[in-house]
Amino acid sequence: MADYDLAIIGGGLNGVSVARDAAGRGLRVILIEQGDLGGAASAAGGRLIQGDLSVLERRAFRRTRTALAERDVWMRIAPHLVRPAHFVIPAHSDERPPWLLRLGLFLYDHLAPSGSLPRSATIDITHHPIGDALQRPFGTAFGYSDCLVDDSRLVVTTAIDAAERGAVIRTGARCVRADRSDIWRLVVIDRGHRQVITARSLANASGAWTASVAETVLRMPPPRTAAVKLGQIIVRRLFDTDNVYVLQNADRRLVFASPYQRDFTMIGTVVRSFVGDPAAVAMAADEVAYLCDAANRYFRERIGTSDVIRSVAGVNLVTGRPGKRFAREGTVMFDARRRKAPLLTIFGGDVTMARLRAERAVSRLLPFYPMSRTWTGQAVLPGGDFPKERFEIEVEDARERWKFLTADQALRLVSAYGSRLHQVLGEAREKSDLGPSFGPDLTGAEVRYFMAREWARFPDDVLWRRSKLGLTIGPADRERLAAFMAEQPVIP
């Protein structure tokens, strides 16, 4: 008998979503990730959970409706990680005419499940805080609702749920070979040790590596794919409101400028075709300049490439020819042959559709296993067991219980852990009860929690994926953090 029903290669959003779905449907699951969970494309996203207005322009109404329904599912199952946000499109005289924007937003409102979020509106921004950050000619904007997500915490929280439902999650473990007979026999290098794992079926969810894993690890013909690089930049805060600005660029693409970690603004996304090693992806100077120029068409405060504090880029695959638009559904392929163990291949797509994509992928295994019915749309993710309207009350409750927290700290912590915050802060009465501090916000208690419960092993896991506190921590604190982490017990 095989060790597992399903082995998954890749711990990005697609991999962990498959693990969560399959474990909850009663399969014995193992997930193998060569680096950190969400260490590649899944932590490099634009953080949008959306129906996608630009899809409407291509008249993909059914897709928009499905994505907007999924947006509601996310708000219900992860109200701490997926937060409603107000988006504004400043009307630009050279771009889409106001009637077209109004029509698009009217459709957007009507394709969304009723009452889920506030409807769109035309806003006179001449004397409105929304207009304060913009250059003078902008007098009108169109407001609508969508959501922002903490992408890397969504990955790790999904993995926690999968693990609590029985999935084994292995990070720092690379699958180097998979032989197929009536079962799969995987060779895995786990922190330097060679191991053999058997499974009745395999999911290749290795993101940008999907084709090379197919070719070199599974030794099968790779799917026909093209790689796309997506990138965004982080600069100092360009505006004082919580709105997400949607900037119509001269090439007709929409560029988003969103509030990021209180003191910063994230601007994205630039999409380019990509050739090379996905592990060495970085934004090129002209891509950074493209995003700065897009922002400079709108905001009063001008930015240049030297103002960029950090850039994030990731690679994912699309099926078909290079240059094809980023398909939000992603791709699910299924290969089942006589006397051969099944193979699922899942890659690309956006965050919004990830849960549904995984559900559809795992359902392909139905003829092979007795499985319980689909469930992930109803069950909340860890920490998400409160209605989205209660979020602010959860933040207030946290401040009441842990009186030493500032308003910003409480907001960050509830956004990250939701109702499970007590697992991190415990019975602490003052900040010093949480152990050493690394920079203004990060404490030893949080780092220990990341290591014991969230598979964090290195400072980058903590600073850029379990949190985004890398933006506010200096080199000396980073060194102290590395030393602190090295002293902690190794989690097997």
Ligand X SMILES: Cc1cc2nc3c(=O)[nH]c(=O)nc-3n(C[C@H](O)[C@H](O)[C@H](O)COP(=O)(O)OP(=O)(O)OC[C@H]3O[C@@H](n4cnc5c(N)ncnc54)[C@H](O)[C@@H]3O)c2cc1C
Q: In whole angstroms, what is the distance from residue 96 CA to residue 126 CA?
A: 20
Q: With beta carbons less than 8 A apart as the criterion, state whether 56 and 342 touch.
A: no
CB atoms within 10 A of CB 279: 12
For residue 12, state whether it binds ligand X (rule: CB under 6 A). yes
Q: In whole angstroms, what is the distance from residue 327 CA to residue 218 CA?
A: 25
Per-residue b or e along 418-434, where b marks 16 or more CB atoms closer than 10 Å to that residue's CB: bbbbeebbeebeebeeb
For residue 44, state whether it binds ligand X (rule: CB under 6 A). yes
| Site residues (CB under 6 A) for ligand X, limited to 382-411 | none
With contacts defined by CB under 6 A, name the span among 10-18, 159-167, 431-439, 453-461 that binds ligand X. Answer: 10-18
Q: How far is CA 213 from CA 220, 354, 374, 404, in A?
A: 9, 21, 29, 49
Q: In whole angstroms, what is the distance from residue 182 CA to residue 381 CA?
A: 34
Locus of tokens 């805080």: 129
For ligand X, the closer CB: 260 or 402:
260
For residue 84, state whether it binds ligand X (rule: CB under 6 A). no
Please report how close the Cβ of residue 356 comes to ligand X at its closest, in angstroms.
12
> Which one among 142, 209, 391, 450 touches ligand X, defined by CB under 6 A?
209
Locus of tokens 């060495």: 280
> Which one among 24, 39, 90, 439 touches ligand X, defined by CB under 6 A?
39
Please report how close the Cβ of residue 487 comes to ligand X at its closest, in angstroms.
27
For residue 348, state whether it binds ligand X (rule: CB under 6 A). yes
With contacts defined by CB under 6 A, name the span among 11-19, 420-428, 433-441, 466-474 that binds ligand X. Answer: 11-19
Q: With beta carbons less than 8 A apart as the criterion, state whether 197 and 31 touch.
A: no
Q: In whole angstroms, what is the distance from residue 173 CA to residue 352 CA?
A: 28
Please report how close the Cβ of residue 407 comes to ligand X at its closest, in angstroms.
28
For ligand X, the closer CB: 72 or 350:
350
What x-and-dash track marks residues 279-318 binding ligand X by CB under 6 A?
----------------------------------xxxx--
For residue 205, state whether it binds ligand X (rule: CB under 6 A). yes
For ligand X, the closer CB: 76 or 174:
174
Q: Which residue is nearest to ligand X (CB)?
A: 12
Q: In whole angstroms, what is the distance from residue 462 CA to residue 326 CA?
A: 29
Q: Give Cα 336 to chain centroid, integer Å.
A: 30
> Which one among 112, 148, 230, 356 touches ligand X, defined by CB under 6 A?
230
With contacts defined by CB under 6 A, name the span among 4-12, 104-112, 291-299, 445-453 that binds ligand X. Answer: 4-12
468 — alpha (psi -120 to 50), left (phi > 0) or beta? alpha
CB atoms within 10 A of CB 222: 16
For ligand X, the closer CB: 201 or 443:
201
One-letter amino acid at 438 equals F
With contacts defined by CB under 6 A, name the span among 114-122, 192-200, 350-358, 425-433 that binds ligand X. Answer: 350-358
Burial of 100 (0-12, 13-18, 19+ CB in 10 A): exposed
Locus of tokens 């990955």: 155
Q: What is the CA radius of gyration of the chain?
A: 22
> Which one among 27, 167, 183, 217 touches ligand X, defined by CB under 6 A?
217
Please report how close the Cβ of residue 421 comes to ligand X at its closest, in angstroms.
26
Per CB under 6 A, residues contacting ligand X are 9-15, 32-35, 39-42, 44-48, 174-175, 205-209, 213, 217, 230-231, 269, 313-316, 347-352
